[in-house]
Amino acid sequence: MGSAPNVIVVADQEALAETAAQLVVDVAAEAVDARGRFSLVLAGGATPRATYRRLAQSPLRDRVAWRRARVFFGDERAVPPEHPESNYRMAYETLLSRVDVPATQVFRIRAEADDTDAAAAEYARTLGEVLGTRRGELPRFDLVLLGLGVDGHTASLFPGSPVVREVFRPVAAVHAAAAVIPERITLTLPVINAAARVVYLVAGAEKAKVVRAVLADQATVPAAMVRPENGTLVWLLDRAAAGRLTAPEAR
């Protein structure tokens, strides 16, 4: 089991975007220095938009060796890439179309496929090929960005879903009845927990209750099951999302 998470609380959503973007820059530099490349998993939802925009602007844009990056997604909704609910579209518009990352190094999840199980298996193969994973091993991403839902979901790992108990497949199709687009494809806990760094980006008072439950170890929701085995976990919160934390969680 990994060490205790590092909880960072910043003033507001703007500071969250600034801090998160700087963190991506730092992790990218470290990975490129060490291995000549950088693997990044992007989160969907609304919270990371400001972070992606910040990363796509000068001066941070020029501080990431985007030509050395491999970009993946934590989850995708069953919509085509041009759909307003597409996580790929959001990331493309805010970040990927604005930086120097070659299109061949951006790996979107084809969740619009009729057969989402086959599309999930295809994405798992892609991860293995691109990251050079040996048979039976899980890919080890340099950085996984995650969001948090008020119900405690993360990526598309929803409470009560059998996919939360997955121990083998790195990618799975899910049906999330409560979500606006219920059919989805998601990375699973084993591959998230094999990452070198996992960073939650959480903003807003409506998340404060679940943040407290997860960080006080009082929750069994999927977000609480993210514990990188041989990596680090950071919770980056704005003051509103951290509003219900008491010491020692709110360090």
Closest CB to ligand 6PG among 30 and 183? 183
User: Is residue 43 part of the contact set for ligand 6PG (CB under 6 A)?
Assistant: yes
Taking phi over 0 as left and psi of -120 to 50 as alpha, with beta for the rest, 155 belongs to left
Least distance to ligand 6PG, CB of residue 212, Å: 16
Best CA proximity match to 5, nearest among 171, 137, 148, 172: 148
Nearest CA among 44, 154, 120, 132 for reference residue 88: 44
Is position 74 an interface residue for ligand 6PG (rule: CB under 6 A)?
A: yes
Binding of ligand 6PG by 154 (CB under 6 A):
yes
Count Cβ atoms within 10 A of the Cβ of residue 109 and give its class: 0-12 exposed, 13-18 middle, 19 or more buried.
Answer: buried
- Estimate the share of the chain in helix, then strand, then coil, as percent rounded to the nearest 5: 35, 20, 45
We find the least distance from the C-beta atom of residue 134 to ligand 6PG, in angstroms, to be: 28
> Is 45 an interacting residue with respect to ligand 6PG (CB under 6 A)?
yes
Four-point Cα dihedral 204, 209, 211, 215, nearest 10 = 150
133-141, 151-159, 190-198, 209-217 -> range binding ligand 6PG (CB under 6 A)? 151-159
Nearest residue to the partner ligand 6PG, using Cβ: 147
Interaction mask 182-221, ligand 6PG, x per CB under 6 A: ----------------------------------------
Give the one residue of 147, 152, 170, 222 binding ligand 6PG; rule: CB under 6 A: 147
172-205 per-residue burial string, b: 16 or more CB within 10 A, e: under 16: bbbebeebeeebbbbbbbebbbbbbbbbbbbbbe
Q: Is residue 75 close enough to count as binding ligand 6PG by CB under 6 A?
A: yes
Tell me the window of 7-15, 107-115, 145-153, 210-218 that interacts with ligand 6PG (CB under 6 A): 145-153
Using the minimum distance from each CB to ligand 6PG, give the nearer residue, 68 or 190: 190
Structure tokens at 187: 């990375």
Please state the closest distance from residue 105 (CB atom) to ligand 6PG, in A.
21
Q: How far is the CB of 70 from ligand 6PG (least distance, A)?
A: 19
Under the criterion CB under 6 A, does residue 87 sit at the interface with ligand 6PG?
Answer: yes
Question: Cα separation of 182 and 229, whole Å?
Answer: 30
Rule CB under 6 A: choose which of 13, 19, 39, 47 binds ligand 6PG: 47
Half-sphere exposure of 196 (CA within 13 A, CB side): 13
Asked if 172 and 183 touch (Cβ cutoff 8 Å), the reply is: no
Is there a contact between 60 and 54 (Cβ–Cβ < 8 Å)? yes
Q: From the CB of 181, what's the least distance to ligand 6PG, in Å?
A: 8
Residues forming contacts to ligand 6PG in the complex (CB under 6 A) are 43-47, 74-75, 87, 147-149, 153-156
